[in-house]
Amino acid sequence: MRAWPWLPRFWMELRRFLLLLLGTLLAAIGYAVFQVPFNIAAGGVSGIGIIVNHYTGFSVAAFYFLVNLPLFVLGFFTLGGWRFLVNTVTAVILFTVATEAIQRHIPFVLGVQPITANPLLAAVYAGLIGGIGEGLVFAAGATMGGTGILGRILQFRTGIPLSQIYLWVDGAVVITAGLVFGWESALYAMLTLLLTGLAADYALEGPSRTRNAFIITTESEKMIPALLNGLDRGVSHWEVKGGYTGQARTFILCTISRPQVNDLKRIVGELDPNAFVSIGITQEVLGSGFSRLGPFL
């Protein structure tokens, strides 16, 4: 390893690129296979491209790429220079090429275009597959360009929350799609937009498998060893005072896996039925007993 100090960095960049490649491919499948054939313009530059294609026949992939060119320049000077530019340009080029290739070859591969005749199925799978793809792109440290760049620039310049910017921009595209394709199509687009966000968050952060348990008890001498031995998890504790009673108590923090919740409640209930217990969902835990700390993308 000492002879090749560049090797860890190389593997990290290779993993990042493969993640980016997979993410853009899935996003392109969700867009070209499910959105475009049913005119599901679910916001963003890709949604505008569907509307433009309807009136002009201009390629949605080419439109997506051309609209992003001036946004690349704005993003370069506003959002992070070369690192931003390389990541985003790579994602946009991969998405453009994949979209064009899928549109050209999917009828020959599947023997049918579109893949389903049900627009509701198309809206659902466009959101799920496209959202997972976008989440993987975000995990690779890139963006899909388009209104994502514009939204971040407006947020930087105006301080308006990003969620509000996306709401107005994507909402305007969906309403325009409703005027062009009919309001039923707009409803499908709204469903796709919602599922895309949920699926992207899931792909980016993953399912929550851990819980944080907060316990306030007067039986800490029994409780702490019971938790250590019964759950095989570490605990942290502090001496606190009740704000209402003024009584001295012990505050115990214990991070556990989801299947251990009932075991924790059983241990606490047996040792101190009057204890106060709060169990919350935690998104990610790194360190001893959980995911290993190390280099990340």
Q: Taking 80 as the threshold, does the pLDDT of residue 220 lie above it?
A: yes
| pLDDT-based confidence at residue 251 (cuts at 50, 70, 90) | very high
Residue 8: per-residue pLDDT? 67
What pLDDT is attached to residue 1? 46
Residue 288 has pLDDT above 70, yes or no: no
Q: What is the spatial distance between Cα 279 and Cα 174, in angstroms, rounded to a whole number? A: 40
Q: Higher model confidence: residue 111 or residue 243?
A: 243
CA distance 121 to 34: 8
Q: Report the pLDDT value the prediction gives residue 4, as an integer from 0 to 100.
A: 67
Q: Nearest to residue 268, comparing CAs of 219, 212, 209?
A: 219
CA 239-244-248 angle, 5° bins: 25
What are the backbone dihedrals phi and psi of residue 4, each rounded to the nearest 5 degrees, phi first? Answer: -130, 75
% of the chain residues with pLDDT over 70: 83
* Cβ within 8 Å of residue 275, ≥6 positions away: 215, 216, 217, 218, 219, 223, 268
Tokens of 205: 């952060």
What distance lies between CA 204 and its chain's CA centroid? Answer: 4
At residue 16 the predicted structure's pLDDT band, cuts being 50, 70 and 90, is confident
Distance CA 79, CA 145 (A): 12
Summarize the confidence of residues 171-187 as an average pLDDT.
87
Write the secondary structure of the chain as one string of H (helix), E (strand) and C (coil).
CCCCCCHHHHHHHHHHHHHHHHHHHHHHHHHHHHHHHHCCCCCHHHHHHHHHHHHHCCCHHHHHHHHHHHHHHHHHHHHCHHHHHHHHHHHHHHHHHHHHHHHHHHHHHHCCCCCCCCHHHHHHHHHHHHHHHHHHHHHCCCCCCCHHHHHHHHHHHHCCCHHHHHHHHHHHHHHHHHHHHCHHHHHHHHHHHHHHHHHHHHHHHCCCCEEEEEEEECCHHHHHHHHHHHHCCCEEEEEEECCCCCCEEEEEEEEEEHHHHHHHHHHHHHHCCCCEEEEEEECCCECCCCECCCCCC
| pLDDT(260) > 60 | yes
> pLDDT by residue (tens digit) across 121-170?
999 999 999 889 888 887 777 778 777 777 777 766 776 665 677 778 88
Say which residue, 257 or 155, is predicted with more confidence.
Answer: 257
Q: What are 76-128's pLDDT values in tens digits?
A: 777 666 766 787 888 888 888 888 888 877 655 554 566 778 889 999 999 99
Residues 32-63 pLDDT 10s:
888 888 888 887 888 888 888 888 888 888 88
Arithmetic mean of pLDDT, 236-262: 85
Claim: this prediction has a pTM higher than 0.85: no
Does residue 256 surpass a pLDDT of 80?
yes
Domains of the chain: residue spans and CATH: 7-205 (no CATH), 210-282 (3.30.70.120)
